[in-house]
Amino acid sequence: MMRKLSLAVAATLLTGVALAAAPKHPDFTGVWTNAGAPAMGGTTNTAANVVLPMLPGPKARVDAYNKLVQPLGETPGGWCLGTGLPGSMLGSGGYPMEILQREEQINIVYEAHNEARRVYFGARNAPQEDRVPGRNGYSTGHWEGDTLVVETDNLVDQIDQRFAHSDEAKVVERYHLEPKLDDKGRRVLVADMTLTDPKFYSAPVTAQKRWAQVPNGRLLPYECAEEGWNARLAEIAKKAGVAVP
Amino acid sequence: MNKFFILASGVAFAALATSASAHHSAVQFDFTKQVPIKGTVTHFRAINPHMQLILRVKDAKGEHLVEFEGHSTNNMYRNGYRKGMVNEGDVITVNVAPLKNGGEGGYVVSADLAGGTHFGMVSRSLDAAKIQQQAEGK
């Protein structure tokens, strides 16, 4: 009798331990690469193939910007500037990204330009007044079942984006894993993005990005700014009338 | 920033000082074509966002320097390049996407090196869209 009771207690304890150890949410930790056609970078909806509901004022700015840079083929990335949101999460220049996931914080690193995002959960979030505006803004996260929802604001005005936007833009990303592996046996992470911006758009802008996991993948370092410093050093040396040391 | 520095003696200062003004962007290259160009390496740097290469080339114009750019260090490493593979004085053949304006130079898609080694995309199965996208990987 005692033996049966002990076994029952042990089984209950083991079940409890198993339940406690079970992750509350899907684990997106890992390195991910484009899952879609290379030309699209896995993105199913780009500024190139949709008519954006852009308001006249911002459209004039974007047209002027394109007229200025496109004949030269200039890009921010060519000058080592990170892509910023939403371009970073929609393509990252075709380079992979890494996700490191903890319960209270998720870090996302895009290999191109070592661009990093931090998604904070609950009490881990900074007070609103301490959130610093930037090209990738400030991101806060929560879970809706197995879907990770990331809401980003504190973005800066970026007319150099695939989806240009103002400093009032807000981006919502919804990440979920496809139920089946792809034909190469990889997990596929789907990101559905919605951009709203009353200054730039008359309606929300949406796009989807699909990432495939790279087993045991590693990001490579991406150093880019050294040439700019070398050029500056040469200018300084020239002004001083000396050779570059 | 991506201008290839002409390091011939006497002009290094001027070239470095103006290097930021002549960046070649990927949109200027025709990635549907590939042209092999053989020459002697006079300058090479594997850097981001684009590698730098100058070859001394002999052709109908005589012997002269031709500047190229190519993939980021990251994409080069993912496609077979490793440190020390390309050195000044090496005779190599680069397969380039030519400039759309017909100018000299181009975007190095792959390279056949001394000793038979190779790095870069396989030219026979050129995926122009992929290369274009990686090139715009900024």
Domain containing A172 — which CATH number?
2.40.128.20
Chain A residues close to B13, C-beta within 8 Å? 234, 237-238
Q: Where are the beta strands (DSSP E) in chain A?
A: 30-34, 97-101, 105-110, 115-121, 138-144, 147-153, 170-177, 188-196, 205-214
Secondary structure letter of residue A127 according to DSSP: P
A40 in a structural domain: yes
Mean pLDDT of the A56-79 span: 92
Q: Is the pLDDT of residue B2 over 90?
A: no
Mean pLDDT of the B35-62 span: 94
Q: For the segment A76-93, what is each residue's pLDDT rounded down to a tens digit?
A: 988 999 999 999 999 877
Average pLDDT, chain A: 88
**Per-residue model confidence (pLDDT) at position B86:** 94
Closest CA to B24 of B111, B104, B133, B82: B104
Task: Grade residue A8 by pLDDT with cuts at 50, 70 and 90.
Answer: low
Mean pLDDT of the A187-197 span: 96
Chain B residues close to A75, C-beta within 8 Å? 25, 136, 138
Q: Is the pLDDT of residue B133 over 60?
A: no
Percent with pLDDT over 90 in chain A: 73
**Per-residue model confidence (pLDDT) at position A157:** 98
The pTM score is: 0.80
Percent with pLDDT over 70 in chain A: 84
A1 in a structural domain: no
The alpha-carbon gap from B55 to the nearest alpha carbon of chain A, in Å, equals: 20
DSSP H helices in A53-108: 56-69, 87-90
User: Which residues from A are below 8 Å from B when comparing CB atoms?
Assistant: 37-39, 41, 70, 72-80, 83, 92-95, 111-113, 220, 222-224, 226-228, 230-231, 234-235, 237-238, 244
Chain B residues close to A239, C-beta within 8 Å? none
Query: Least CB-CB distance to A39: which of B24, B129, B137?
Result: B129
Q: Is B82 on the interface with A (CB under 8 A)?
A: no
The alpha-carbon gap from A48 to the nearest alpha carbon of chain B, in Å, equals: 14
Higher-confidence residue of B79 and A21: namely B79
Q: Is the pLDDT of residue A199 over 90?
A: yes
Mean pLDDT of the B26-52 span: 91
Q: Is the pLDDT of residue A243 over 90?
A: yes
CB contact under 8 A, A39 and B20: no
Q: Is the pLDDT of residue A152 over 80?
A: yes
Residue keyed to tokens 């594997």: B46
Average pLDDT, chain B: 76
Q: For the segment B81-105, what is each residue's pLDDT rounded down to a tens digit?
A: 999 999 999 999 999 999 988 999 9
**Per-residue model confidence (pLDDT) at position B9:** 26
**Per-residue model confidence (pLDDT) at position B136:** 56
A7 in a structural domain: no
* A41: Cβ contacts below 8 Å, ≥ 6 apart: A34, A90, A91, A92, A94, A209, B133
A116 in a structural domain: yes
Closest CA to B107 of B86, B125, B121: B121
Round to whole Å and give the CA distance between A8 and B105.
77
* Superfamily the domain B24-135 falls into: Nucleic acid-binding proteins (2.40.50.140)
Query: Least CB-CB distance to B23: which of A38, A70, A74?
Result: A74
Residue B15: which H helix or E strand, with range?
Answer: helix B12-17
Q: Is the pLDDT of residue A133 over 60?
A: yes
Q: Is the pLDDT of residue A62 over 80?
A: yes
Distances in whole angstroms, Cα of residue B134 to Cα of each of A230, B76, B109: 25, 11, 11
Number of helices and strands in chain A (H, E): 4, 9
Higher-confidence residue of A39 and B118: namely B118
The alpha-carbon gap from B59 to the nearest alpha carbon of chain A, in Å, equals: 28
A226 in a structural domain: no
Q: Is the pLDDT of residue A135 over 80?
A: yes
- Return the exposure string of A168-181: e unless at least 16 CB atoms fall within 10 Å of the residue's CB, then b: ebbbbbbbbbeeee
**Per-residue model confidence (pLDDT) at position A39:** 39
3-state secondary structure of B78: helix
Mean pLDDT of the A129-133 span: 96
**Per-residue model confidence (pLDDT) at position A91:** 80
Domain tally for chain A?
A: 1
Virtual torsion, Cα A53, A57, A62, A65, nearest 10 deg = 170
**Per-residue model confidence (pLDDT) at position B22:** 39
**Per-residue model confidence (pLDDT) at position B26:** 72
Chain A residues close to B127, C-beta within 8 Å? 38
A68 in a structural domain: yes
Q: Is B25 on the interface with A (CB under 8 A)?
A: yes
Residue A163: give the domain boundaries: 23-214
* Nearest Cα residue in chain A from B137: A93
Closest CA to A189 of A59, A89, A74: A89
Task: Grade residue A71 by pLDDT with cuts at 50, 70 and 90.
Answer: confident
CA angle at residue A162 from A158 to A165, to 5 degrees? 35
